[in-house]
Amino acid sequence: MEFIKPGININFVGNRRWAFLLSGVLILATILLLVWRGGPNYGVDFTGGVLIQVRLDQIRSPGEIKNALKPINLQDSIIQQFGEKSASEYLIRVRKTDVELTGLSDRVKSALDAAFGKSVDIRRVEMVGPKVGKDLRQKALFAIFYAILFIAIYISGRFELKWMMSIIMALSLAFVVYMTSSFGVSVTWLIIIAIIVTLGLCWFLNLKYALGAIFALIHDVTITVGAFALTDREISLAIIAAFLTIVGYSLNDTIIVFDRIRENVRRFRRRPFGEVMNESINETLSRTILTSSTTLVVVAALFVLGGGVIHDFAFAMLVGILVGTYSSIFVASPVLLLWEGKIAGQARKGRKNGVRMKRA
């Protein structure tokens, strides 16, 4: 089935500068938003504390619920409505890690009953210790990083048959991570440094396909995190699973485009690389739109009908699929064009030096 008829020729390559500008603005906005908020809004899974889900008789304001919790010294809790806007369910997040968990459910119910009547239902109570939360946060960050690293190794071997270069990159990166961690650098900065080193190694080792894929994946995850920061949603273990799913989805789309580019480069050796790349993107456009639209329908159904438990996961998937489809066309592929410009520049420099030597 073809959604778009053969022969279409949209100038994606010609509009790449506008796409780079849009992506740059979104990434910069994400960074500024995270700095302003003091980092991502981590859930209890990563920060430690107590999570209490309650159902009241009617919609109440966060201030009313905090006042009701004053008798048990939980007035500093974070109150968030859970599920649909018309629902009267709330999440009470207690950042304190020294709260006595025994009998906490009964104390919260008694306090809310006294304020709102005998119609309070305690749905669940969860507690995560601070050390466990810190360990989970570190493992989640490493999971995303190693997923991107192994993807880079696979793509380098799969598309360019440079398995040895990929192994050299992995060993070099492992050495950098080991040396950086020995200085007591935080996990966040360790991951940032490692990603920068990975991009640098891809550039200097001429792993062009891996470079494009990594740029696209970092782009997708960063903008999705920005969407969470903008909407003040929490990042939990389920959201990390969504990020990894986005990485896999975006990579699948990118591989389809890359595979067609590689095939057409072999077929049309004398044509300019930008022209071949643009034709390849147009040839895979029908497949890209069909795959993305069908997946979006399913995720949108989860977002609307799935309930509060899966709501944030579905939101992450919605943003990730849209951004991932965009990045496969406007981020991953144009990076190959930048790399070709680098090679062409080196070739022109070499020819000039050769002419000078002959004249001398």
222 and 253: one domain?
yes
Q: What are the pLDDT digits (tens) for 192-224?
A: 777 787 788 777 877 788 888 888 888 998 999
Q: What are the pLDDT digits (tens) for 31-60?
A: 999 888 887 887 777 777 788 888 887 888
119 and 262: one domain?
no
Q: Is 329 inside any structural domain?
A: yes
pLDDT-above-90 percentage for the chain: 8
Q: What are the pLDDT digits (tens) for 122-181?
A: 888 777 766 666 677 677 777 777 777 777 777 777 767 777 777 777 777 777 777 776
Of the three residues 87, 103, 128, the one that is the final residue of a domain is 128
Residue written as token pair 């960050």 = 141
Q: Is 17 helix (H, G, I), strand (E, B) or coil?
A: helix
Q: Which residue has the higher pLDDT, 117 or 277?
A: 277
Containing domain of residue 96, as a range?
49-128
54 and 101: one domain?
yes
73 and 206: one domain?
no
210 and 121: one domain?
no
250 — pLDDT class (breaks 50, 70, 90)? confident
Q: Is 54 inside any structural domain?
A: yes
Q: Which residue has the higher pLDDT, 300 or 16?
A: 300
Q: Is 284 inside any structural domain?
A: yes
145 and 110: one domain?
no
Are 339 and 208 a contacting pair, CB within 8 Å? yes
Backbone φ and ψ for 260, nearest 5 degrees, come out as -70, -40
Q: Is 8 inside any structural domain?
A: no
- How high is the pLDDT of residue 15? 83
179 and 118: one domain?
no
Q: Is 4 inside any structural domain?
A: no
Bridge-based pairing state of the strands 49-55 and 121-128? antiparallel
Of the three residues 99, 128, 157, the one that is the final residue of a domain is 128
- How high is the pLDDT of residue 215? 86
Of the three residues 112, 128, 144, the one that is the final residue of a domain is 128
Are 134 and 97 a contacting pair, CB within 8 Å? no
145 and 291: one domain?
yes
Q: Is 360 inside any structural domain?
A: no
Is the pLDDT score of 345 beyond 60? no
H helical segments located in 55-129: 62-68, 104-116
Q: Domain holding 71: CATH number?
A: 3.30.70.3400
**Which DSSP symbol is given to 83?**
S
141 and 241: one domain?
yes
Q: What is the C-alpha separation between 68 and 171, in angstroms, rounded? A: 57
75 and 209: one domain?
no
Is the pLDDT score of 245 beyond 80? yes
Q: What are the pLDDT digits (tens) for 60-106?
A: 888 888 888 888 887 777 787 776 666 678 888 877 666 666 677 78
The count of structural domains within the chain is: 2
Q: Domain holding 209: CATH number?
A: 1.20.1640.10
Are 152 and 169 a contacting pair, CB within 8 Å? yes
- Confirm whether pTM is higher than 0.95: no
150 and 121: one domain?
no
119 and 138: one domain?
no
- How high is the pLDDT of residue 336? 80
Q: Which residue has the higher pLDDT, 112 or 144?
A: 112
